[in-house]
Chains A and B, each alone.
Chain A
Amino acid sequence: MRIIVLVGRVLDPSGIVVNRRRGRIFINREEYLVNPADRCALEAALRIKDATGAEVVALPRGPLPDDDVLRQALAAGADRAVYLTGDGFKGADDAVMARVLAAAVERLGGADLVLAGATTLDTRQGQLGPRLAEALGWPQIVGAWQVEATDGKVQAVLQAPTPRVGGDRVLAPGRRWGKTPPPRVGGDRHQPWSPLPPPPPPRVGGDRGGGYATVETDLPAVVTVLPGALKPRYPDGARLINIYRAEDAVERWDVADLVEADALKPLLERRGQDFPPERERGVRVSGTPEEMAQAVADALRQQVRG
Chain B
Amino acid sequence: MDASYLDLLMAQQEEVTEAAGGGGGIWVVADVVNGTVAPVTLEALGAARTLADALGAYVYGVLLGEDVTDGSTELTTSLAQTLYQAGADGVRVADHPSLAQFALEPYLKVLSDLVEAEQPEVVIFGATAQGQELAPRLAQRTGGGLIEHVTAASLDETTRTVQATFPIYGGEYFEIAACSEARPQFLTVEPGAFPAPFLDPYRKGEPTTLDVEPVEPAVRVLGPAEGFEPPPVPLAQASMIVAAGRQAGGGSAELAEAFEMVKQLAAALGGQVAGDRGARDAGWIGPGQIVDVRGVTVAPQVYVAVGIRGDTFHNAAIEGAKFIVAIHPDPDAPIFQVADLCLEADPQEVLPALLEALS
Residues of A within 8 A of B (CB): 13, 16, 18, 20, 25, 93-95, 98, 121-131, 133-135, 139-143, 145-146, 155, 157, 159-167, 169-172, 175, 177-178, 181-190, 193-198, 200-202, 204-205, 208-209, 211-218, 221, 228-231, 267-276, 279-286, 289-290, 292-297, 299-300, 303-306
Supposing A166-B67, A166-B101 touch, asked if A295 and B167 sit within 8 A by C-beta, the answer is: no
A190 touches B151 (CB 8 A): yes
Give every chain A residue within 8 A of B196 (Cβ-Cβ): 197-198, 200
6 pairs of residues in contact across A and B, judged by CB atoms under 8 Å: A94-B146, A131-B137, A164-B65, A272-B176, A289-B352, A300-B269
Interface residue range, chain B: 35 or more
Give every chain B residue within 8 A of A271 (Cβ-Cβ): 163, 176-178
Cβ contact of B228, chosen from A18, A128, A145, A217, cutoff 8 A: A145
Task: Give bound CA distance, A274 to B175, whole Å.
Answer: 6
Task: Give bound CA distance, A292 to B224, whole Å.
Answer: 41
Residue of A nearest to B33 (CB): A162
- Scoring B43, B76, B239, B267 by chain A CB atoms within 10 A of each residue's CB, the highest score goes to B239
B353 touches A18 (CB 8 A): no
Supposing A161-B130, A164-B100 touch, asked if A297 and B357 sit within 8 A by C-beta, the answer is: yes
A185 touches B239 (CB 8 A): yes
Residue of B nearest to A134 (CB): B140
Cβ contact of B221, chosen from A163, A213, A228, A300, cutoff 8 A: A213
Give every chain B residue within 8 A of A214 (Cβ-Cβ): 221-225
Give every chain A residue within 8 A of B34 (Cβ-Cβ): 162-163, 167, 178
Cβ contact of B231, chosen from A166, A230, A306, cutoff 8 A: A230
Supposing A143-B129, A194-B152, A198-B196 touch, asked if A280 and B340 sit within 8 A by C-beta, the answer is: yes
Supposing A170-B101, A187-B322 touch, asked if A273 and B175 sit within 8 A by C-beta, the answer is: yes
- A231 to chain B minimum Cβ distance, whole angstroms, is 7
Task: Give bound CA distance, A282 to B224, whole Å.
Answer: 46
Give every chain A residue within 8 A of B141 (Cβ-Cβ): 134
Cβ contact of B166, chosen from A123, A131, A269, cutoff 8 A: A123
* B244 adjacent to chain A (CB < 8 Å): no
Task: Give bound CA distance, A148 to B174, whole Å.
Answer: 36
Supposing A122-B168, A140-B104 touch, asked if A98 and B148 sit within 8 A by C-beta, the answer is: no
Give every chain A residue within 8 A of B35 (Cβ-Cβ): 164-165, 167
Residue of B nearest to A138 (CB): B218
A182 touches B239 (CB 8 A): yes
* B358 adjacent to chain A (CB < 8 Å): yes
- B48 to chain A minimum Cβ distance, whole angstroms, is 15
Give every chain B residue within 8 A of A230 (Cβ-Cβ): 231
* B135 adjacent to chain A (CB < 8 Å): yes
